[in-house]
A and B are shown apart, each in its own frame.
Chain A
Amino acid sequence: MTVDVRADLGALSLDNPIVTASGCFASGAEIDRFYDVATLGAVVVKSITLEPREGLPPPRMAETPSGMLNAIGLQNPGIDGWLAKDLPWLQGKGVPVIVSIAGTSVDEFAEVARRLRGRAGVVGVEVNLSCPNVDHRGLVFACHPEPSADVITAVTRAVDVPVFGKLTADVTDIVSVARAVIDAGATGLSLINTLLGMAIDVESRRPTLANVLGGLSGPAIRPVAVRNVFQVHQAMPDIPIIGMGGVRTVRDVVEFLLAGASAVAVGTANFADPFAAHDLLAGLRTWMADHGVAKLSELRGAVQMPDREA
């Protein structure tokens, strides 16, 4: 049985639904030493800021039960360095590129976005809203609907490709932030970013990370991510969602699709296995054939809810 794995993300259509999670795949060249990354639906690159950043001091990671904490601090070459070096390589590969952008003010997001306008190969922009907002006492953009909407408005004005807002689950009501981001003009949503966490070395009694706090990722966060995708999809069934958080097996991919995602990003699993994303795509095709699922769209949001009357 041949299966149709095309992923429909509204204005953006991908050959398949397996993409990479920002910050977990650099810009692709490192993993291309193992397999051809052009086989993926898209490469979502590590978040790029206006100026180059050296990031936070090490240790930057700690392994935790079924997950890991990271505090990288958005180390990146800056938009101009990235455009000069990483984008040409990706263009040469011919793989669709979704550029994750980050910033600490609305203006910074807008300027990074402006420099991406009209670049060949860039099929979308993912707006990493999990940064502290310098103009608002360091509060994280994605924790509040209004500043998130302001950023999305500025970015959608600056580029001519679909824009995805990437939200954090560290909020009381993710649906209200999601709605604000969509109302501001985003094509879709990326759910979820890491959850804020902490680990302490009990021998030294010191925090394990130099930065004290870090972002939790991996299988440990998957139920939270699935819940967020489900809640947002229930509230806005037509909005494309890229689901992510602890995806490691084909069953995890299908779980996100059933909750309402249209595509699935693979993050921490790339660290455990450089072939993770590649093998998930092959595995998904097999799973669909085995389960008589001809089209990916049959799975989207197809979770069977319990019968409440019974």
Chain B
Amino acid sequence: MTTYLRSRDPNVFGRPGDGPLKVLAEVIQRRRDGAYHTITVAAPDIAERAKPGQFVNVAVEGPGTILRRPFSIHRVSSQGPIAGTIDFVLDAHGPGTAWLAERQTHDIVDVVGPLGSAFPIPQQNVPCLLVGGGYGVAPLFFLSEVLTRAGLRVDMIVGAANAERIYNAIEAKRMTASVTFTTEDGSLGVEGLVTDAMDDVIAATGTRVIYGCGPMPMLRAVSLRAKERGIPCQIAVEEHMACGVGVCWTCVIPIRSAKTGQLRMKRACIDGPVFSGTRVGWDVSRWHVPDGDAVEDVAEPGTPIEEGADE
């Protein structure tokens, strides 16, 4: 078989470099975190290549399932007692996530990654606000670590329906300068939505860049608020994915070209999942709200973020 093994590990398939790999990875640890499951798998080659915002596509075996399931990379460890691992967070609800939630330590799971684009990192030392909703906070932990290591101030807003659906509040507090929780039922922190807390936090911290991950209606609202404040905003989006690697064109979302202003259907899996929130054509997307709080394409004032090149 002429597979291009990168390492001598017979369970790693792919090319040398920084592209994606397929790894038959051992489950090292599994935890319950409120409403979620966190799974740690041994995949040193993926861990080494991964950047915050990227995701893995995991094979599942629920009855009748044939497609992989995408999950954001929550954390990676390259050092320490269990080196070369990646964590992902599961919200178990359908056949695929339910099957994964049942995996035991030492089970082998088939993982493809790292996939997709990463969050761009500011070139200057500016305060960053990370806004997460539900399991969408998962990749923001990895991002927070990378930003903090680069010497940047990180504040977080974490929202969910209720306290049980706030992922790992203790760790969020530990790793940030400040964290504000919002719950829709008021069972933890501010009662309401993440956007209800944004103005206060931005004023208190002097936020210059906003990062968001969570449900699409939340990302739309966060993008709109960021645009109003003239703050550049990078979000990791979600759309149903058949392949996760860019070949099927199922996962598209409308993105406005920075150069031409034209809306183009871009693949969330390979052109994203990280996009500039103001470039998403919310007004023509399936996340459109008829009363018209659409985010239009605007030049982002003094963006300290290096934008990815437009196609």
A interface with B by C-beta (< 8 Å): 23-26, 30-31, 33-36, 39, 46, 54-55, 57-68, 70, 72, 75, 210, 218-219, 268, 270-275, 278-279, 282
Contact = CB atoms under 8 A, between A and B. Distances in A.
A278 B13 CA distance: 11
A222 B1 CA distance: 26
B265 A65 contact: no
Most buried by B among A54, A60, A62, A210: A60
Contacts of A54: 264-265
Given A35-B3, A58-B252, A270-B243, 20 more contacts: A25-B247, A35-B13, A36-B4, A55-B265, A60-B240, A61-B242, A63-B65, A66-B64, A67-B66, A68-B67, A68-B242, A268-B66, A273-B59, A273-B110, A274-B20, A274-B112, A275-B13, A279-B1, A282-B1, A282-B2
B258 interface: no
Interface in B1-26: 1-4, 13-15, 19-22
A55 B249 CA distance: 9
Contacts of B239: 58-59
A70 B248 contact: yes
Interface residues on B, range: 35 or more
Contacts of B247: 24-26, 30-31, 270-271
Nearest to B270: A30
Most buried by B among A72, A272, A274, A278: A274
A59 B245 CA distance: 17
Contacts of A270: 243, 247
A32 to B, nearest CB: 8
A28 to B, nearest CB: 9
Contacts of B20: 33-34, 274
B186 interface: no
A68 B22 CA distance: 22
Contacts of A218: 66
- The list of the 6 closest CB pairs from A to B, nearest first, reads A30-B246, A271-B243, A65-B64, A61-B250, A33-B19, A60-B250
A92 to B, nearest CB: 16
A70 B242 contact: yes
Interface string B244-287: 11111111110000000000110000100000000000000010
Nearest to A219: B66
Contacts of A75: 249, 252, 265
A72 B253 CA distance: 12
A25 B242 CA distance: 12
Contacts of A70: 242, 248, 250
A58 B112 contact: no
B265 A34 contact: no
Given A63-B67, A65-B64, A271-B242, A278 B251 contact: no
Most buried by B among A62, A272, A282: A272
Given A33-B19, A58-B286, A61-B240, A275 B3 contact: yes
A70 B245 CA distance: 16
Contact of A35 (B15, B59, B246, B264): B15
Contact of B67 (A25, A271, A274): A271
A70 B253 CA distance: 16
B15 A33 contact: yes
A15 to B, nearest CB: 13
Contacts of B59: 272-273
A79 to B, nearest CB: 17
Contacts of A60: 240, 249-252
Contacts of A36: 2, 4
B74 interface: no
Contacts of B37: none
A58 B251 contact: yes
B58 to A, nearest CB: 11
Contacts of A67: 66
A55 B246 CA distance: 15
Nearest to B262: A54
Contacts of B22: 34, 273-275
B227 interface: no
A292 B110 CA distance: 32
